[in-house]
């Protein structure tokens, strides 16, 4: 069986810990933000060669809080009980900041999605994270901004 990305990182760098259950929802969202961004950037890159500015514009439109909130609405029925619990913990976490271009409801939903992505990544379930993002974006469809 192929090792997970986080497993490879832990092994190669001799890291201990990284149990997703031991982190706060905002800690999970911290790493989940990066994981979500990598998934989105991979999708955008797959659309072919273009200027870096165009890559950035396309990916930015897909990672903003309102886009993540819309993604959640599509994947909610697909979530397991555990995944929903992680999402809710992230959504309900009290953050010290709010994105300047997002309303509070979208920002909280986005934090929940990022917490879920972080949880799945740390739990070695990257395939599930990618599957959920694909379902939320409509796998197989064009991912136009």
Name which of 118, 107, 94, 95 is nearest 21 in CA terms.
118
pLDDT tens per residue across all 145 residues of the chain: 456 888 888 888 888 878 888 899 999 999 999 999 999 999 999 999 999 999 999 999 999 999 999 999 999 999 999 999 999 999 999 877 767 777 889 999 999 999 999 999 999 999 999 999 999 998 644 444 3
**What local confidence, expressed as pLDDT, does residue 79 receive?**
97
Query: Out of 19, 33, 103, 106, which one is annotated catalytic?
Result: 33
**What local confidence, expressed as pLDDT, does residue 136 receive?**
96
CB half-sphere exposure, 7, CA atoms < 13 A: 9
106 is catalytic: no
DSSP 123: T
For residues 52 and 16, give the distance between their C-alpha atoms in angstroms, rounded to a whole number: 36
Residues 6+ apart with CB under 8 A from 57: 145
**What local confidence, expressed as pLDDT, does residue 139 receive?**
66
For residues 51 and 54, give the distance between their C-alpha atoms in angstroms, rounded to a whole number: 5
DSSP calls for 5-35: HHHHHHHHHT-----GGGS-HHHHHHHHHHH
Query: In the structure encoding, which two tokens stand for residue 64, read together?
Result: 């903003």
């Amino acid at each position: 069986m192929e090792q997970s990305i986080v497993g490879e990182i832990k092994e190669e760098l001799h890291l201990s810990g990284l149990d997703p259950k031991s982190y706060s929802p905002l800690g999970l969202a911290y790493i989940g933000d990066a994981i979500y961004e990598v998934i989105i950037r991979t999708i955008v890159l797959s659309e072919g060669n273009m200027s870096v500015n165009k890559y950035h514009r396309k990916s930015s439109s897909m990672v903003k809080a309102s886009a993540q909130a819309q993604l959640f609405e599509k994947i909610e029925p697909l979530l397991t009980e555990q995944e929903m619990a992680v999402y809710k913990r992230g959504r309900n976490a009290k953050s010290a900041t709010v994105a300047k271009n997002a309303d509070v409801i979208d920002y909280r939903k986005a934090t929940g999605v990022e917490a879920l992505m972080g949880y799945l990544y740390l739990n070695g379930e990257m395939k599930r994270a990618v599957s959920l993002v694909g379902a939320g974006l409509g796998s197989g469809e064009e991912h136009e901004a």
